Amino acid sequence: MSTPSRIKLGVNIDHVATVRQARGTVYPSPLEAAGRCARAGGDIITAHLREDRRHIQDADVYALKEQAVLPLNLEMANTREIVLLALDLLPEEACIVPEKREELTTEGGLDVVSHSGELGRTVRLLTEAGIEVSLFVEPDIKQIDAAAELGAPCIELHTGSYCLAEGESAEHELSRLINGACHAQSLGLRVNAGHGIHAENIEGVLQVPFLDTLNIGHSIVARSIMVGIENAVSEILEKIRTYARGGDCEQ
């Protein structure tokens, strides 16, 4: 029998940097935000260093790593420049995500099946450097199988489709997430989840079993405008405090 254990919260601070970059100032500081998230009880700091540097900058991730406020999860595209930076930075975790210059935010999961060769090389390089690698994927059995075959110890399930859906569509997307998490757990993968999660839809996401970490960013930063980032983090932590990782999976 599984025992209740609090799911970890990774706070994505990208949009603290978005506000800063909008005016080209030195504030607000992602590093200060990370410290406040730690004081509120957050477990991990997540930052996406995009190729176009639209928000988080190189100096931000190096400061976050050097100060070691919390373990750093670097979201990253599978490009030579970013992979080399990750190998120099050595974050505790790295989540490989798809990235398109024209998108407002990450729009879906990696196609691990079609890009297993190049992804496999990056997984090996990062793993050999001591970085725990996760692959950001849809709750699709073929993609999860492909991730496991590459030797990645972890996946992050894309929750965006569920978070945007309503009615029967939402039920369908939640079922996909549950089945995906169960399948990943059966393969020995650690299961994280993220994208589009906020206080109003998080209870549905918490029906997904075997989750280790939820990565939440935009909604926390948006809420922090009203209540401060420490309170925004605390509100999410209160929602997830009773989560139990175990669950019943259909055979």
As annotated, the active-site residues are 48, 75, 195
The SS3 of residue 157 is: strand
Residue 188, CA distances (Å) to 12, 31, 133, 169, 185 in order: 26, 34, 14, 29, 5
Tell me the C-alpha distance between 227 and 233, whole Å.
Answer: 10
Contact status, residue 183 vs residue 138, Cβ threshold 8 Å: no
Contact status, residue 87 vs residue 94, Cβ threshold 8 Å: no
Contact status, residue 192 vs residue 154, Cβ threshold 8 Å: yes
Taking Cα atoms as reference points, which of 188, 189, 182, 208 lies closest to residue 197?
Answer: 208
Tell me the C-alpha distance between 157 and 138, whole Å.
Answer: 6
Contact status, residue 90 vs residue 65, Cβ threshold 8 Å: yes
Tokens read off for 15 = 């949009």
Tokens read off for 173 = 């997307």
